[in-house]
Structure 1
Amino acid sequence: MNRRTIAMDRKYRLGIDAGGTFTDFVISELGGETRLFKAPSTPHDGTIAIRDGLGQIAAALGVTPADIVSQADLCVNGTTVALNALITRNGVKTGLLCTTGHEDSLEIRLGHKEEGHRYDTTYPQAEMLVERHLRQPIDGRILADGSEYAPLDEHAVRAACEYFRAQDVKSVAISFLWAAVNPGHEQRAKEIVEEMLPGIPACCGHEVYPQIREYTRTSTTVVNAYLTPVMDSYVARIDDLFRELGATRPVRYFQSNGGLALGESMRKRAVAAINSGPASAPQAALYVAAPFGIDNCITVDMGGTSFDITLTRDGQTNVSKDIDFLRYRIGLPMIQVETLGAGGGSIAHINAQGLLEVGPQSAGASPGPACFGKGGTLPTVTDANLVLGYLDPDSVLGGTINLDMTRAREAIRVHLAEPLGITVERAAYGIFQIVNLNMVNGIRRVSTERGYDPRDFALVCAGGAAAMHITALAEDMGINDVLIPKLASGLCAFGQVISDVKYNQMTTHLALVDSAMDVDALNAAYYRLEEQGRTMLARDGFTSAAIRFERSADMRYVGQIHECSVPVPDGTLGSSEIAALIDAFHTRHEQLFTYSERQNPVELVNIESISVGPVEKIRRADLVTDGSDAAQARKGQRQAMVDDEMTLIAVPVFDGTTLPVDAAIVGPALVEEPTTTIVVRTGWTLRLDKSGCYHVQR
């Protein structure tokens, strides 16, 4: 193994993205093409889907699954296991040790209600992951300066452990006040738990989220404890499978921070896997956009049940911290993913006011959309796309799924068209427009509402369903460049195999940021974090020369209760760097909140360093240009509704697998790939770049 980076020094590189419906497999051959495969997901045992996918790959390449695994320089697994366990509340029975008097902080939630429900007295409380009787108060107190005010009551910890054993608790969270400053009490409590409850994981707040904010740290630690046994079991099964197949290098898992990690790390910090799947999309988007000189990307991923959005500016992807995810506060840095219930299976219905709505309910994979013929009778986005002519019943997912036009039309007619007194086609186009509006609003939340002009970005398409909506979304957002890679329906799996190894190191560092601040103390704090990251990456095979660090600081105006994250330069900081840091904070505050207060003092709250172990990127295998035109790829025409005139017209259909490089297709047109269909609306022109990406421009 190259000790400086993870280099593609073997024959294959494998990325696996386990979604709720399908598990995507991307395999790259050294110096050759990158190919996409899909297998039905098996949530009860992910190894079944992986064996299925490896079997498909092996048959296509004429090798065995063992050949692929043993000759892979990198095998990466992105999974929705942690996310699904949180969504379905299928984590384990969890107990909490907390400072006396703070047993109810999880329910009090700082008095916070989610956006849109602040004044809704009927909005239900979030379901607690730890039952009230399993939140055990422990005497002992650390103060804000790290001094011990009262010793830990070890007798109370032991009594709590006895109670947890009697209640069959499977995981324990430990979160005491000011443990981020002095973790002594948490460390001792963990020792007692491990002594009295062998085999039961104990998760400490200072290990999971070592920064101030008692509620955020407690909530994050509880979520981690709730999911840890689930993730531990999953990682063990996957690791065992790959060892059985002859893997000589460890499987790496994709984290919510956009980087890879060893299974050992994921077992201890399961909360870092919550957004594992969509978090890899931005890295893939940058790779796709690089041949066009684009580093401002909004990536949209539309699958069967959801629509995920991420934003990357100047090559840097938005990261969220201290957010409510599925109504649970998570403090760890996560790639900012805006997720909507707007997928191909989203159900359209008429609401109590007599208006057409789409989602968030979904038909899922079973029974699925009406056109699947699996028992579904309600109209969905996929049914609408079929009626509108975007989908060919005989050419979906390489011909493996045949769609039933009659069932799709009947579902829309009965549930929407007749009650609204309109035609089936108009009702279908209404579904299309409304789901697009929902998606546009989501795009605005990650762009306009965070101080970015979407017109400065290219829209990058991911997921099997997005290409049918992508040019309409771009029109609504005023975006003129759209990129649709041939691997769009497996873009997240591809993003995994070109991402770096990353570990986040965080701590609290309270200080006024001015000319009189103790810069030496700040430098020392960053160096300590980076030494921790260097140690972790050394275990992963990286030398110091290969490692880089990405620093940031959470800052605010004195008296504020929220912070802004600001990049911090590498190396030793001095007075000039501190002055630049203050200026960067004012600028960022104005971007986010439309104003700054440059006359007011600024304080530092938390600092962070991301330790990065670089992974060599896959070599591009350019498509061959033969100089022919698009006419040779035309396979006929189909009646479709491709603009807001709401009229079905004859639209040419092209086979994307035979479309020549650089050939231009002027909309309206449909371009069919094995796992997606591209709708080129009127006023747009599509060209296939030699990199294997469609560039669609208005």
Structure 2
Amino acid sequence: MKRISVDIGGTFTDCFFAWDDLYIESKSLTTHHNLALGFNNALDNACKRAGLTREQVLKEVDSVRYATTLGTNALIEGKGPRVAAIVTHGFEDTIHISRSKGYGEGLDPIKQGDMADAERPEPIVPRNMVRSIKERIDTIGEVLVPLQKEDVREQVRELISNGAEAIVVALVNATENPEHEQLVLETILEEYPAHELGSIPVILSSQVSGRKGEYVRAKTAIIDAFLHAIMFNALNQLSGNLRTSGYEKPMLVVHNSGGMAQSNSTDALQTIHSGPIAGVGGAQHLSESTGIGDVVTMDMGGTSFDIGLVPEGGVKHYDFHPVIGRWLVCVPMIHLNTLGAGGGSIASFDRIHKAVKIGPESAGSDPGPACYDRGGLYPTVTDADLLLGYLDPENYANGFIKLNPKRSRFVIEEQLCDELDLDVIEVAKIIKRSVDEQMAIGIEMELRSNGGVVEDFTMVAYGGNGPLHACGIANQAGISKILFPPFASVFSALGAGNMKPLHIHERSAYVVLYEPLSRTLFDEYDRFNGYVEELEKKGREDLVRQGYDVEKVEHGLELDMRYGNQRVTTSVALDINRIENVGDVLHVIRTFSDIYADRYGKGIEAPEAGVRVQTIRVASYIDGEVVRFDELEYAGERTEPTPVTHRKAHFVGEDKAVETPVYDATALSEKYVVHGPAIITTESTTYLIERNWRIEPTPQGAVWLLKDNATQGSAKKS
């Protein structure tokens, strides 16, 4: 296997380089003005260690895979084209009414309850950029009012005259019959041929989402159109850079569905959160191959802190109506809870609560934290970590970045010490405790809201700042086992390298598997199987178009199910792809009941209320070679290594500085155990071991961080 996988984050560009049996991790600062430069720097660092040139590697490598947060950042910043929308006559205000709940989407529960001060987000499509056309298709796909092309031409001309740079077509019931949306596209191309209209994209809602719901489907297409040009230009820039260096294969892009595809088969919306989701995918593979039980993932980079869940057995949690920014969309996306708390998160004084506030603003990579000495003017979490003695100013990021503690001290004293009437070390402790507490609360809420018991979970921590804050977060959350996987500082990039070529297609379908009034079971097998075959065909065509062998395409069937009229649906992954008889119907109902009971509690299943299917979903994929994870437990004898030096460090909850042993990467050998307080500095990250914790490395490069009497392995077993 020869593979390059890259995670382009807000602060660092991470690279995982697999060359046969040689695995190398590499980092560089993200170059936002030209992402290719950061990629080249990270790849050059890896090639240098492998004794190869970039040109040699790119000529021989099997694939190059990208995960990026570029789309996420663009949406947050609100920088994008002027988007217009064409809708069915009479539905001109649907987008802006937003199901009456638009004011609260994307906000925390406290702000959602503050209806008196509620403000809707600035719409991506202004009301004067919405036009309607006279047409109508009913709920079963029959044409009630035919579409007139002249009507379309008139509305499109007005939108173009008003400065439209992208057009979304979202017509009623287009999921049941996309004929009218396709006619609109055909008419636009007749009126404005590609060479005349230029790069203005036309996005059809029926192609972006197969689920019913006019508002959420339209909003999904709108966000896709908003991000289209940004992602198109960025991916073209990266692709062009690869071609210049001799790489001739298609570039692959990681999707937030947990798979990947060529860039020409990628919607812009599918790239949102793709970097952190690649890390969850890596954790899923780790859980499946090593049996470590229930996992909560913690990815702390320079800009954000991302939490994911992987229950025992490796089944991922999906959001099928995720909120992206302040907008509800309907794309299947691996569930992720993102907090604005990373190493570069800015610490500011909250005058209302007279306390330190962490994030969501970040110093990013340019200029970066004040200690980077590149013009940063605000105190960050990294500045606090440096002053507390955790970081080595001369060996941060393998010596590529020299840290200046004087700058950290200056910005913290200037902006926080006077306000809090405390010395700089006490303020740095407050910053450390605040960010750890913020992230611990996020983990606890995530686990409890999904029916998890905190004590049953192993925290898998990765990202450049994960090993530095894991102890503090676990102390606050009540977690006693932390696993740093192999190549923890670039684990999301590693996860991107393990992704499968995958496409997910879905459609709304009202299927009653058990009708309680008549006490009958579903028997329209041909109708159900027809839906599945239609979705499988779409997935198969996607993969074959990208050059994959049709014989290697596999399919997995999932259903969104509920009891009776419950509002909450549960996603059920099945081990069959067709329903052929009563036995198959009962098997589906039984599988649903088992998953429901496991998530919400045994005995509360309610089949007597009826069992219904809301959505049918097919994942089409190609299996391939992956980086293997071996057993993560080691029972051999261990001794204490000899520290390379000592330095004074300050810990939350301790009044005085502690003379702390400092170790280098050689301490991460399976023959050693390191008890806290201690610091281990490696090329790519820093491990902070607090009091009452210990580190136990494994032969495969993973590292266990255990509290008191906790032991390696699944949290449920100890």
TM-score by length of 2: 0.90
Q: Does 1:691 align with 2:700?
A: yes
Distance apart, 1:158 and its partner CA: 0.8
CA deviations 1:240-271 (Å, max 9, x no partner) are 332333324321110111111011111xx211
Equivalent residue, structure 1, for 2:315: 316
Q: Greater shift after overlay, 173-182 or 636-645? A: 636-645
Q: 1:91 aligned to 2:84?
A: no
Quick check: 1:509 aligned with 2:516? no
Deviation at 1:677, TM superposition (A): 0.7
Conserved? CA contact 1:628–1:660, under 8 Å: no
Other-structure match for 2:621 = 612
Cα deviations by residue, 1:38-76 (Å, 9 ceiling, x for unpaired) = 233233332232333333333333332221111111210
Q: 1:165 touches 1:197 (CA, 8 Å); kept in 2? A: no
Task: Give the secondary structure class of the aligned counterpart of 2:471.
Answer: helix
Give the 5 Å matches for 1:530-609: 530-573=536-579, 574-586=581-593, 588=595, 596-609=605-618
- Aligned mates of 2:62, 2:563 — CA distance in 1: 47
In the other structure, the counterpart of 2:710 is none
Structure 1 position 275 matched with structure 2 position 273: yes
Structure 1 distance, partners of 2:237, 2:407, is 41
In the other structure, the counterpart of 1:357 is 357
Matches within 5 A, 1:72-221: 72-112=61-101, 113-114=104-105, 115=109, 116-199=111-194, 200-221=200-221
Residues 507-534 of structure 1: CA deviation (Å, up to 9, x unaligned) = 1211212113423321221122112212
Contact between 1:255 and 1:273, CA under 8 Å: does it hold in 2? yes
SS state at 1:121 partner? helix
- Say which is worse superposed, 311-320 or 403-412, in terms of deviation: 403-412
CA gap 1:235/1:380 in 2 versus in 1, 3 angstroms:
closer
In structure 1, what is the Cα distance between the partners aligned to 2:37 and 2:421?
Answer: 48
What letter is aligned with 2:345?
S
* 2:715 matched residue in structure 1: none
The one-letter amino acid of 1:121's match is A
- 1:105 and 1:657 map into 2 onto residues whose CA distance is 61
CA, structure 1 residues 529+291, in 2 after alignment: closer, same or farther (shift >3 Å)?
closer
Deviates more, 1:575-584 or 1:527-536: 575-584
Report the Cα distance in structure 1 between the residues aligned to 2:75 and 2:625, rounded to whole angstroms: 34
CA-CA distance at 1:592 after TM superposition: 6.0
One-letter amino acid of the structure 2 residue matched with residue 656 of structure 1: A
Kept in 1: contact 2:12–2:365 (CA 8 A): no
What is the deviation of 1:159?
0.8
Question: Is 1:652 the equivalent of 2:661?
Answer: yes
Superposition deviation, residue 167 in structure 1: 2.7
Structure 1 position 639 matched with structure 2 position 638: no
SS in 1 for 2:33: coil
TM-aligned CA distance change 1:345 to 1:202, over 3 Å: same
Q: Structure 1-normalised TM-score?
A: 0.92
**One-letter amino acid of the structure 2 residue matched with residue 690 of structure 1:** P
Is the Cα contact below 8 Å between 2:667 and 2:680 reproduced in 1?
no
- Contact kept? 1:286, 1:295, Cα under 8 Å: no
Structure 2 match to 1:327:
326
| Maintained 8 Å contact 1:633/1:659 | no
> Partner of 1:21 in structure 2?
11
Distance 1:211 1:631, change over 3 A: same
Structure 1 residue identity aligned to 2:207:
E
Of stretches 54-63 and 18-27 in structure 1, the one that deviates more from structure 2 is 54-63
Over 3 Å counting, the alpha-carbon distance change for 1:678 and 1:505 in structure 2 is same
Q: Which sits farther off after the overlay, 457-466 or 280-289?
A: 280-289
From 265, 282, 285, the counterpart of 1:284:
282
Which runs of 5 or more residues in structure 2 are unaligned? 195-199, 515-520, 708-718
Counterpart residue number, 1:521: 527
- 1:214 & 1:484 partners in 2: Cα distance? 44
Shift of 1:346: 1.8
Contact 2:640 2:673 in 1 (8 A): no
Give the Å deviation of 1:331: 0.7
Q: Secondary structure at the match of 1:697?
A: strand
2:675·2:693 contact (CA, 8 Å) conserved in 1? yes
Paired with 1:358 and 1:233, the residues of 2 have a C-alpha distance of 33
How far apart are the structure 2 equivalents of 1:588 and 1:377?
51
RMSD: 2.5
Q: Is contact 2:284–2:316 with CA below 8 Å preserved after alignment?
A: no
**Higher mean C-alpha displacement, 350-359 vs 460-469:** 350-359
SS of match in other structure, 2:181: helix
Counterpart Cα distance in 1 of 2:158 and 2:683:
57
Q: Answer yes or no: is the 8 Å Cα contact 1:384–1:428 preserved in 2.
A: yes
Q: Which amino acid aligns with 2:608?
A: Q
Residue 60 (1) aligns with residue 55 (2): no
Partner SS state of residue 315, structure 1:
coil
SS in 1 for 2:140: coil
The answer on whether the counterparts of 1:666 and 1:683 sit within 8 Å (CA) in structure 2 is: yes
Q: Is the 8 A contact 1:258 1:280 kept in 2?
A: yes
Cα displacement (A) at 1:418: 4.0
Q: Report the AA paired with residue 607 of structure 1.
A: I
Aligned residue number for residue 714 of structure 2: none
Answer whether contact 2:669 2:699 (CA < 8 A) is retained: no
Residue in 2 aligned with 1:667?
676
| Structure 1 range deviating more: 355-364 or 206-215 | 355-364
Deviation at 1:191? 0.9
Question: Structure 2 vs 1, CA of residues 415 and 31 (structure 1 numbering), >3 Å: closer, same or farther?
Answer: same
> 2:648 touches 2:659 (CA, 8 Å); kept in 1?
yes
- Partner of 1:193, secondary structure, is helix
- How far 1:169 moved relative to its partner? 2.0
Shift of 1:544: 4.6
8 Å CA contact retained: 2:557, 2:577: no
Report the count of equivalent residues.
683
CA deviations on 1:73-100 (whole Å, 9 max, x unpaired) are 1210112232222222222222111111
* In structure 2, C-alpha distance between the alignment counterparts of 1:503 and 1:127, rounded to whole Å: 32
Q: What is residue 680 of structure 1 aligned with on the other side?
A: 689
- Equivalent residue number for residue 3 of structure 1: none
CA–CA distance in 2 between the matches of 1:106 and 1:185? 19
Q: Which moved more, 1:516-525 or 1:206-215?
A: 516-525
Match of 1:222 in 2: 222
Q: Distance in 2 between matches of 1:539 and 1:366?
A: 40
Hey, what's the Cα distance between the residues in 1 that align with 2:468 and 2:363?
A: 19
Give me the whole-angstrom Cα distance separating, in 2, the residues matched to 1:290 and 1:315.
5
TM-superposition CA deviations, 1:626-654 (whole Å, max 9, x none): x9966555211122234533432111111
For 1:26 and 1:459, locate their aligned partners in 2 and report how far apart those are by CA, in whole Å: 22
Could you tell me whether the CA contact under 8 Å between 1:256 and 1:276 is conserved in 2? Answer: yes
Q: Structure 1 residues 122, 198: CA separation in 2 closer, same or farther (over 3 Å shift)?
A: farther
Structure 1, gaps ≥5 residues long: 1-7
Equivalent residue number for residue 338 of structure 2: 339
Partner of 1:258: 258
The alpha-carbon deviation at position 179 of structure 1 amounts to: 0.7
Deviation per residue, 1:588-630 (Å, 9 max, x gap)? 556666755443123222110111111201356999x9x9966
